[in-house]
Chains A and B, each alone.
Chain A
Amino acid sequence: MRPFRARRTTAAVGSAALAATMLLTACSSGTAGSKDNAGGDGKVTLTIDLFGTFGFKETGLYDEYMAAHPNITIKQTDTQDEGQYWQALQTKLAGGGGLADIQGLEVGRIASVVQKQADKFADLKTLGLGGVNDDLVPWKGAAVRTADGKVLGAGTDIGPEAICFRTDLFKAAGLPTDRTELAAKWSSWDGYLALGKQYVTKAAGGSAPEGNKWTDSAAGMFTAEVGQEKVRYADESGKPVYDKSPAVQTAWANSTKLVADGLSAKLPQWTPEWNKAFSTGKFATLSCPAWMIGYIKGQAGEAFAGKWDIAAGPGKTGNWGGSYLAIPRSSKHQKEAAELIKWLNAKEQQAKLFTKQGSFPSSTGAQAAIKTVKDPYFNNAPIGEIFSESAANMPAQVLGTDDGVIGKAFTDALGEVERTGTAPATAWQHALDNIKKASGN
């Protein structure tokens, strides 16, 4: 009996020790194992993590690159909602794991990255990409340079604004469908709202589809309008001015008017309901930064080809969104990632992305090349001309560290106004409270 018991005790102690050593070796072998990811045969898998629709995969750019570089395999993951993407990215950056070799960054977050997380991303200059932003519109490259001259990202697209509209619905409501005529009618936001009122009255009278609204949401209109001013949420010194800036205040007034006039379909953007509405037709117009073209095609599908059209948008022109590609410091294939970025962002590829997908190039060389592009899906609208015009006149926005958070707080508050009937003044206060909660320390 005794020896048996003794053996059991040693066995228990032994297995505990074994478990402990296994834990330790598991950790060490993990780091050792990932080193030879490159493999002996020189094959490299590059991972790219993006949000929304960049269009690299859709336009076949990856396939083209892999065909030319047989040793490279590209794997892309993406999240539709940039807010969720950013959140996940921050967690990964803090933990140091799970990062891709190339991460996309939205322009609204770029000031935060440059000021708070410059040490988490590779300086593209040290990877031979010092000049990657030279060809771009000046503000695009400047936004991603740190005070000490590091280049943290390569600019892909920018978001010149226009309005996308449904010609079939316009026709049914007896509105003009000529894009030049429309652009003249909605040259101001007031004009846009007035035409909208005309549209929903017709819809109520039965000459347009019942229940069909003028636009998807107050949030879309707000974001487009606020993007048309140089100073939005922070002034040039970085001081927050979101509660006082004329850009925010007029955009807020106009968007709440949109709701009060019953012009909004009350669909929160980037949700499944919104996506579905593209193929059921819940709204007749949509604030359209260039990259939205690709999104519409993806959601509405071939059934709606030729039913959409594009016209120059109301107000001054502005910028909504646009992105950068960056390489986290933790990437084991920085050199290969840099080569891929260089190729993806070259003007030939940027021009191709616009032609096929609608993402407007930030490269001036590519901008010159796409002036005459027309899009058959959008009734052969001269998208090259419309967006080039828009891009040429857009202001160079001041970017603040909390732009993303502030923009979301205001669009959420507009959601309250349109969906729960909250008074605009109360919702405005909610937005300010939320911003304080999110950014204040």
Chain B
Amino acid sequence: MATISRPAPALPAQATRAARPRWGARLAPYGYLAPFFVLFAAFGLFPLLYTAYVSLHRVELQTADRMDWLGLQNYTRLFEDPFFWNALRNTFTIGVLSTVPQLLLALGLAHLLNYRLRGRTFFRVAMLMPYATSVAAATLVFAQLFGRDYGLINWVLAGVGLSPVDWQADTWASQFGVSAIVTWRWTGYNALIYLAGMQAIPGELYESAAMDGASRWQQFRHVTVPGLRPTIIFTVVVSTIGASQLFGEPLLYEGNAGGGISHQYQTLGLYMYEQGWSFFHLGRAAAVAWVMFLLIVVLALINAAIAARRNRTDR
């Protein structure tokens, strides 16, 4: 062993001292990360794999202890089900209807908040209020506003001589209604993210732009937006994932899992819930869950690819 070797007794001690902490230093981060991964394995990975297992079986909630092997039948059935495609289409249209105005509004609001104005802390906190409101509370209020017979919005429409809209039964109107709730809840949240990004843009850029005679709008277009590009990509990714999982708002809009009488605003999340908890077909619900999961992975990859290309062309 090293300790017996002559030349310098101090050396081995030094060596061990150097080696030991390095071991510890190398392991410690894993130790600190371990709780997350243990929890992830228990509450993330295991359910994911178990869902995959369930999706290959016929399982009914009412007789959940019985599982019959089906292979991929739940998946093939799914792709033959017009209601699945309907839900996919709705998820996309509601996603676009809510994400695009939401991010544009957020960008505009952030730009305004970035000016020196009185009481801006108040405005910034106010921005976050809708986000802090629970989905249930927000949706219930909006469902009242969008009521056909007694809703405020139809009352206003009638006041200016327009005919009332059935915000729940009509396809586009109901999708707009659901999107309005999503937009209302998330605009402020995104605005604050943009604001943080904007404050990282050096003030000199604005000053020199102003000196060159750029108007506020030109400053916004040529300084702010390019400077915010990574932030914008981030919010687009997060909002896209959020939109593809949209569930609470459409569920509570009329209070049932069907997503309207003609399923006109049934999203994928609702479709899954309906399969599992209205019709009690747990196996099929599990198959939907996996398809949704894969869909989100694909969306994230596409986003990442676009972002990577953007960055490459930038530099």
- List A residues at the B interface (Cβ < 8 Å): 1-2, 5-6, 8-9, 12-13, 16, 19, 81, 83-84, 87, 90-91, 93-94, 112, 116-117, 267-268, 271-273, 276-277, 280, 282, 405, 412-413, 415-416, 419-420, 422, 430, 433, 437-439, 441
Q: Across the two chains, which residue of chain A brings its CB closest to B20? A: A2
Contacts from B to A (Cβ < 8 Å) = 17, 20-21, 24, 27-28, 31-32, 34-35, 38, 58, 60-64, 81-83, 143-144, 147-150, 166, 168-171, 254-258, 261-262, 277-281
Which one of B63, B147, B277 contacts A87 once the chains associate, using CB atoms below 8 Å? B277
Cβ 8 A contact of B169, one of A9, A280, A419: A419
Q: Which residues of A contact B261 (CB under 8 A)?
A: 268, 412-413, 415-416, 419-420
Q: Is the CB of B62 within 8 A of A117?
A: yes
In the bound complex, residues from chain A placing their C-beta under 8 Å from that of B149 are 267, 273, 276-277, 282
CB-based contact A430/B62 at 8 Å: no
Given contacts A5-B24, A90-B62, A416-B169, 4 further A-B contacts (CB under 8 A): A116-B62, A272-B147, A419-B168, A437-B83
Shortest A268–chain B CB gap in Å is 8
Cα-based distance from A84 to B64 in the complex (angstroms): 20
Q: Which residue of A lies closest to B64 (CB)?
A: A94
Q: In the complex the two chains form, what is the Cα distance from A282 to B150 in whole Å? A: 11
- A12-B61 CB under 8 A given contacts A87-B277, A273-B150: no
Contact B62 A112 (CB under 8 A): yes
Name the residue on A nearest B84 (C-beta).
A437
Could you give 20 example pairs across A and B, Cβ below 8 Å? A2-B21, A9-B27, A9-B28, A9-B31, A81-B255, A83-B278, A87-B257, A90-B62, A272-B143, A273-B148, A276-B149, A280-B150, A412-B258, A419-B169, A420-B171, A420-B261, A433-B83, A437-B83, A438-B278, A438-B279
Q: Enumerate chain A residues within 8 angstroms of B27, measured Cβ to Cβ.
A: 9
Q: Tell me, in angstroms, the Cα distance from A439 to B278 when the chains sit together.
A: 10
Contacts of B150 in A (CB 8 A): 273, 276, 280
Which of B38, B149, B171, B281 counts the most A-chain CB atoms under 10 A from its CB? Answer: B149
- B170, A12: Cβ atoms closer than 8 Å: no
Q: Could you say which residues of chain A place their CB within 8 Å of the CB of B32?
A: 12
User: Which of chain B's residues have a CB closer than 8 A to the CB of A438?
Assistant: 278-279
**B141, chain A: closest CB distance, angstroms:** 12
Q: Which residues of A contact B34 (CB under 8 A)?
A: 16
CB atoms of A12 and B278 under 8 A apart = no
A90 and B277 in contact (CB under 8 A), knowing A2-B17, A84-B255, A273-B149?
yes
B280 touches A90 (CB 8 A): yes
Which residues does chain B contribute within 8 Å of A420, judged by CB atoms?
Answer: 166, 169-171, 261-262
Min C-beta distance of B17 to chain A, whole Å: 7
User: Which residue, of A84, A277, A437, has the highest number of chain B Cβ atoms within 10 A?
Assistant: A437
Chain B positions within 8 Å of A439 at CB level: 279
A271 CA / B150 CA spacing, docked (Å): 13
B31 / chain A contacts, CB cutoff of 8 Å: 9, 12-13
Residues of B within 8 A of A81 (CB): 255
Partner of B262, one of A112, A268, A416: A416
Enumerate chain B residues within 8 angstroms of A112, measured Cβ to Cβ. Answer: 62
| Shortest CB distance A302–B (Å) | 21
Which residue of chain A lies nearest to B166 when distances are taken between CB atoms in the complex?
A419
In the complex the two chains form, is A91's CB within 8 Å of B277's CB?
yes
Residues of B contacting A412 with CB < 8 Å? Answer: 258, 261
Given contacts A2-B17, A276-B150, A412-B258, contact A441 B58 (CB under 8 A): yes
Q: Of A1, A12, A116, which one neighbours B21 at CB under 8 angstroms? A: A1
